[in-house]
Amino acid sequence: MPLELEDPRVIEFDVRTDEMLVNMGPQHPSTHGVLRLVLRTDGEVVSEVEPHIGYLHRCAEKIGENLTPRQWVPYTDRMDYLAGMNMNLGWSLCVEKLLDHQLSEKALHLRVIIAEMGRIASHLVGMGAYGLDLGSFSPFLYAFREREKILDLFEEACGARLTYSYITPGGCTADLPSGWLQRCADFLDQFEPIIQEYHALLTTNAIFIKRTAGIGVMSPEMAIQYGCTGPVLRGSGVDYDLRRDGEARYTEMYDGYAFEVISEQNGHYPKDHDYPAVPKDAVLGDCWHRFYVRMLEVVQSVDLVRQAIDRYSTASGDYGVPIKLTTKLPKGEAYLETEAPRGQMGFYLVSDGNAIPWRVRARSSSFCNLSVTADLCRGCLIADIPAVVGSLDVVMGEIDR
């Protein structure tokens, strides 16, 4: 009697070994804080990934309903603790929108400088930590070496190195110290050539490409459906950046700046002349592209800061005086999204006319970016999970708030 395969699944089922449930995190070196992933594995192959969140929940939003907007600024620092400046900026703009507060030209350029420097610092951590996820230790140290210099500059400006609370509703807490712009420009000159080192160690490294190219491929449609934003969205080739496409109150900061949205359009990235070429194994939307978008954004931010320094030194007005602590908020609501390093960071504020908001909510980019994990990791190997989760570059403080 000839053998017949009635149902191929039966064979597949036969070959299968026992499945194992493995708990990855919340204490695990590569889950970027306190993310917990429950893996269903068949040997090294992962059949299902379920992310669990909430281990870093600190009731930040509820606290915001008991404080005045300026008092809540330090809590935004602690959301995305790697990009505190950008969090401050999002919240400040939201409050200013409700107050309809207009900033001087100088204050706007100052914010561009600070926000873009924050983006560089944040992407440096993202890049270095991604190297760690893939087992390469040294890029992390190289990234931190440069980030330290940015933190030094921030420290000069506001006195803090991690939780800045520098940008506040109404402007900034202080003007830049004298000579700061020059030191910042010096840093950029020194930093720009170093990016090539990162490319040599990671972007163009053969093993790195092997580990990331074609892994965790996310189609543009899927990225949009899941609400992914930031480099995760642009890594899939969607041409969307709030600095260009956002609300007028936010995009006016970037009026007159020369910059392009970093995403692959028609097979190539903007300004690709001095960047390493895309390897042939890489598929649009894979881990390599998400990483690459971040690297290119660093270069772009360097460019933006340079422009902002030029314009700041000739701009008129003051750095922006913060609103008074007891400023009464007008009755109404405001929602504003900004392009934080990890994506679209939205703040929502409802006021009943008091100085203390009635409702405060935050829309986190990492939350949506993380939600694709289960889909991207299905059927991959255990070693690919750090590669995929790392390429999403999530910060748990922002997800759990």
Partner 1 sequence: MADFFEHTLHFPVWLAYLVAALIHCVLIIHVVAVGALIFIWMERKISGRIQDRLGPTRVGGAFGWLQTLADGIKLIAKEDITPGDADVMLFKIAPYVSFAASFCAYIALPFSDGWVAQHLNSAVFFVLAVLGLEVFGVILAGYASGSKWSLFGAMREAAQVVSYEVPLGMCVVVPVFVCGTMNLVTIGNMQSGLFTNWLIFNDPFTFAIFWVYFTCAVASVNRAPFDLAEAESELVAGFHTEYSGLRWSFFFMAEYGSMFLVSGLAAILFFGGWNGPFPIAEPLATTLVNVVTLGNAESWGGLSTYLANLMGCVNFLLKGFVGVTVMMWIRWTLPRLRIDQVMTTCLKYCVPLAAVCFLGAMFWQLNGMPTGNDLMGFQRGLQTEGWVETADREATAVTPAGSADLSADGESLVPVAADRSDGDHLSGLAENGGAG
φ/ψ of 271, rounded to 5, equals 55, 45
| Minimum distance of partner 1 from residue 143's CB (angstroms) | 11
Sole binder of partner 1 in the list 40, 101, 199, 210 (CB under 8 A): 210
Task: Kindly identify the residues of this chain, within the stretch 94-133, that bind partner 1 according to CB under 8 A.
Answer: 131-133
Handedness of CA 351, 352, 356, 362 (dihedral sign): negative
Tokens for 51, please give them.
């992310």
Q: Are 288 and 282 in contact (CB under 8 A)?
A: yes
Q: Does residue number 44 form part of the binding site for partner 1 (CB under 8 A)?
A: yes
Q: Does residue number 145 form part of the binding site for partner 1 (CB under 8 A)?
A: yes
| Minimum distance of partner 1 from residue 325's CB (angstroms) | 43
Residues 6 or more apart whose CB falls under 8 angstroms from that of 260 comprise 270, 271, 300
As a residue count, the chain comes to 401
Q: Does residue number 356 form part of the binding site for partner 1 (CB under 8 A)?
A: no
Label each residue of 54-95 as H, E or C.
CCCCCCHHHHHCCCCHHHHHHHHHCCCCCCHHHHHHHHHHHH
- Alpha carbon 25 to chain centroid, angstroms: 21
Tokens for 187, please give them.
């840093």
Residue 279, SS3?
A: coil
Q: Does residue number 20 form part of the binding site for partner 1 (CB under 8 A)?
A: yes
Sole binder of partner 1 in the list 185, 222, 224, 382 (CB under 8 A): 382
The neighbour count for residue 158, using CB atoms within 10 Å, is: 22
Q: Does residue number 385 form part of the binding site for partner 1 (CB under 8 A)?
A: yes
In what side-by-side order are the strands of the sheet with 20-24? 20-24, 36-42, 45-52
Residue 254, SS3?
A: helix
Q: Does residue number 384 form part of the binding site for partner 1 (CB under 8 A)?
A: yes
| Minimum distance of partner 1 from residue 307's CB (angstroms) | 30
Sole binder of partner 1 in the list 162, 207, 277, 325 (CB under 8 A): 207
Query: Candidates 180-188, 203-211, 258-266, 303-311 — which segment interacts with partner 1 by CB under 8 A?
Result: 203-211
Identity of the residue, 329 or 395, whose beta carbon is nearer to partner 1 in the bound complex:
395
Label each residue of 253-267 as H, E or C.
HHCCCCCCCCCCECC
Identity of the residue, 21 or 174, whose beta carbon is nearer to partner 1 in the bound complex:
21
Sole binder of partner 1 in the list 38, 185, 201, 299 (CB under 8 A): 201
Q: Does residue number 267 form part of the binding site for partner 1 (CB under 8 A)?
A: no
Binding residues for partner 1, rule CB under 8 A, total: 31
Query: Candidates 137-145, 233-241, 352-360, 364-372 — which segment interacts with partner 1 by CB under 8 A?
Result: 137-145
d(CA 177, CA 175): 6
Residues that bind partner 1 (CB under 8 A): 20, 22, 28-30, 43-44, 131-138, 141-142, 145, 201-202, 205, 207-208, 210-211, 381-386
